[in-house]
A and B are shown apart, each in its own frame.
Chain A
Amino acid sequence: MLDKNAIGRASPPTLNEVEKGAIRRFAEAIGDYNPIYYDEEYARASGYPTIVAPPTFPASFHSAADLRELLGVGIKSLLHAEQGFDYERPIFAGDRIYVSTRVSDVFERPGMSGKMDIAVIEDEGRDEEGNLVFRARRTLVVRAAKETV
Chain B
Amino acid sequence: MPARKLYFESIRVGDELPALAKAPVDRVQLSRYAGASGDYNPVHVDELYAKSVGMPSVYAPGMLVMGMLGQLISDWARGGQLRRYNVRFIKMVWPGDTVVCKGRVSDRHGSGGRYFVEIDLWAENQKGELVMKGGSQIQLFFSLEDENRQRSGQSPIVVEVPRESLVVPAPASASSEAASSAPTAPEEEDEGTDEPRNGASSKKTAPREKPAAKTASLPAAKKAKK
Contacts and interface: CB of A to CB of B under 8 A. Distances in A.
B179 to A, nearest CB: 16
Contacts of B68: 30-32
Interface stretch (B8-16, B56-64, B109-117, B213-221): B56-64
Contact of B74 (A42, A45, A54, A137): A54
Contacts of B187: 81-82, 109, 111, 116, 141
B73 A83 contact: no
A25 B1 contact: no
Interface string A34-75: 111000001001110000001110011010000000000000
Contacts of B188: 109-111
B33 interface: yes
B67 interface: yes
Interface string A78-97: 01111111110110000000
Interface residues of B, number: 42
B81 to A, nearest CB: 7
B177 interface: no
Interface residues of A, number: 41
Interface of B: 1-2, 5, 22-23, 29, 32-33, 35-39, 53, 61-64, 66-68, 70-71, 73-75, 78-79, 81-89, 151, 185-188
Given A31-B23, A56-B63, 16 more contacts: A22-B36, A28-B36, A29-B67, A30-B71, A32-B71, A45-B1, A45-B2, A59-B67, A60-B38, A81-B88, A82-B86, A84-B85, A84-B86, A89-B81, A111-B186, A141-B185
15 contacts: A25-B32, A29-B67, A31-B22, A32-B68, A34-B75, A36-B74, A45-B1, A55-B73, A56-B67, A59-B66, A79-B185, A81-B187, A82-B87, A89-B81, A110-B188
